[in-house]
Chains A and B, each alone.
Chain A
Amino acid sequence: MPPDSQKGESMNTGRRGFFGRGLAVGGIAALAVQHPKIAAASGGLDGKPLEVPDWTKMLGPGVTAAPYGSPSEFEKNVVRRNVPWLTVSEQASINFTPLHELDGIITPSGLCFERHHGGVPAIEPDLHRLVIHGMVRQPLVFTMSDLVRFPSVSRIHFLECPANGGMEWKGAQMAGVQFSHGMVHCCEWTGVRLSTLLDEAGVATGAKWLLAEGADAAAMTRSIPLDKALDDVIVAYSQNGERIRPEQGYPLRLIVPGWEGNVQVKWLRRIKLGDRPWQHREETSKYTDLMPDGKARQFTFVQEANSVITAPCPEKPLQAKGAYEVRGIAWSGRGKISRVDVSLDGGANWQSAELQTPVLDKCLTRFRLPWRWQGEPVFLQSRAIDETGYVQPTIEQLRHVRGVNSVYHKNSIHTWRVNQDGSIDNVQIL
């Protein structure tokens, strides 16, 4: 993909083209307030000489002009978006990571999709407490300053809502990768191992599950098997190097690597140990997978291997014939991605893509494949394979077993149709 296709201005089709131009004009106008002399482009194209732009001929703002920096003012289009018709309330709702605007594997904290059930609480860290009790030898309460004293661990993991892609069980619906796949993000999380805290309280014999509870207006609860809790779960206070963002659970959340987002309870205030699951609302009424026979699968925690091409995609159509790089992300809740294959002909023939290293456990993995587009219609697909040998299935395979009403855990191979004009559609194919 040519470098300038990363900018909003380069969108070439219909409505989007209009918005693209709107952005460019608005952006320059905004800049003119700060730098009154801004005038011309830098030339260099169509035989014209390069010009020396004004920003090269004047001093810019000094250090700490922005004590906490923000993205360039020309990147205003890089934002989370929600789907208003999806939920009746914005407090119990979801929005989507702009995957089409991102490179690499780390999601900037401010772009991580949000899922709340009772809005975002404003928690004062000095007043926050974490209680561990139930089937333990000694119930304990921790302050935030207690928790940061424990030995710490940092891990990079994806986190995905199990409803990611769930709007497309019955057919292709969303004309954009932000909406078809944007309920996933990947961050570096720092905190204390839950096993360390459980050791501190002393797990009583017979304890098999724990209940994690949030301090938000939903007082979100989920039951988690103790085996997983003792394996790799983190009680995290930092995200991408700084304290967790409010929308992601400030000041404390669970990170349950590879498992569905809902169990990774945000605003964590309480952990109670018990001998069985609690059967709370979010593990019965919701986050269970209804099968065609009317029975629902329960405690389907793992996010199975998934992948999607993020360039090109409906939001980033092709500009012209010629050389491009097909790019995308793959991830698996069962471990590392071992291979990603790309098809240009709707799944008849595949070639393995290059994986960006390091490839990490339960982490987004970037793949890429050089490609030359001759202007022909193309059915682009990616297929992830993880270290357990699991192969990402087709939508038909999933529907054959699970029907179309299970809402959650749709991880099928995704298809983008590249049309002759370079525009791109979300389609489902046989």
Chain B
Amino acid sequence: MSRFSSFVLAAAGLLAASVAAAQQRGYGIGHKITDAQIAPWNIDIGGEDGKGLPPGKGSVAQGEKLFIEQCASCHGEFGEGNGRWPELMGGQGTLKDADPRKTIGSFWPWAPTIFDYVRRTMPFTAPQSLSNDETYAIVAYLLNINDLLPADGVLDAKSLAAIKMPNRDGFIVGDPRPDVKAEPCMKDCKQGQVKVLSDLAKSLGVTPDQKPKD
């Protein structure tokens, strides 16, 4: 074989190898993984359609018991929030008020999101400790205290995804900003004295001490 033809052959071989690599993956770094392997981490629920909601079910009554045991110390027995811990109920009709109360009942647009959040991170000090049935039961109770499920209600994947939250249409999707247009005026942009609107920062006393930490 001439040197020329062996070069062509080698080049063709290289080309074939690189085509195969491209069909495989760019750098070939990382490892294939199956859905079964991912399952323990694959906990996200689609808020809009409940995609990913697991089999299982739970009742308001079961949820009430679990909630009192595992959640009420912070959130209060009826989700009213102990002290400054977050409240999980009420607030409907307050979103336009001077002090709006944003809660599951007044603000959350999609019911499956409650399941997702509670299962992934509550109770606060023992996240990812609730079973699917327990999570359904607690979500049933949370919906009940927000008047969205009757006291004898039972929740599963289908019934949870079917619940229409009161504030479903309360969100403007897509960013309307910039929503203010300012002109970069340089000279004589204002007439008269500066008017101070708010001057309490020093006297309010809400700024932490700036003493050095040792």
Closest to A378 in B: B194
Closest to B202 in A: A175
- B-chain residues with CB within 8 Å of residue A349 when the two chains form the complex: 186-189
Q: Once the chains bind, are B46 and A81 in contact (CB under 8 Å)?
A: no
State which of A139, A272, A278, A405 has its C-beta within 8 Å of the C-beta of B34: A139
Q: Once the chains bind, are A146 and B179 in contact (CB under 8 Å)?
A: no
Q: Once the chains bind, are B96 and A294 in contact (CB under 8 Å)?
A: yes
Count CB-based A-B contacts (< 8 Å): 272
Contacting A at CB under 8 A, from B96-127, are 96, 98, 100, 102, 104, 107-110, 113, 116-117, 120-121, 124, 127
Contacting A at CB under 8 A, from B31-59, are 31-35, 37-38, 41-48
Closest to A428 in B: B198
Stretch from B1-9, B140-148, B151-159, B169-177 that touches the partner: B169-177
In the assembly, what is the distance between CA of A296 and CA of B30, in Å? 41
Q: Once the chains bind, are B210 and A77 in contact (CB under 8 Å)?
A: yes
Beyond A139-B33, A172-B200, A276-B48, is A82–B121 a contact (Cβ under 8 Å)? Answer: no
Q: Once the chains bind, are B29 and A146 in contact (CB under 8 Å)?
A: yes
Q: Interface residue tally of chain A, by bracket? A: 35 or more
- Quick check: is B20 within 8 A (CB to CB) of the other chain? no
CB distance from A29 to the nearest CB of B (A): 12
Stretch from A104-112, A283-291, A353-361 that touches the partner: A283-291
- Quick check: is A341 within 8 A (CB to CB) of the other chain? yes
Closest to A288 in B: B171
Q: Once the chains bind, are B204 and A173 in contact (CB under 8 Å)?
A: yes
State which of B25, B31, B127, B196 has its C-beta within 8 Å of the C-beta of A219: B127
Q: Once the chains bind, are B195 and A425 in contact (CB under 8 Å)?
A: no
Beyond A140-B31, A297-B175, is A350–B186 a contact (Cβ under 8 Å)? Answer: yes
In the assembly, what is the distance between CA of A407 and CA of B127, in Å? 27
- Quick check: is B207 within 8 A (CB to CB) of the other chain? yes
Chain B positions near chain A (C-beta within 8 angstroms)? 25-27, 29-35, 37-38, 41-48, 83-85, 95-96, 98, 100, 102, 104, 107-110, 113, 116-117, 120-121, 124, 127-128, 170-191, 194-202, 204, 206-214
Not counting A146-B29, A150-B27, A175-B204, a sample of 6 additional A-B residue pairs whose C-beta atoms are within 8 angstroms of each other reads A173-B207, A174-B207, A201-B25, A219-B127, A285-B102, A293-B96
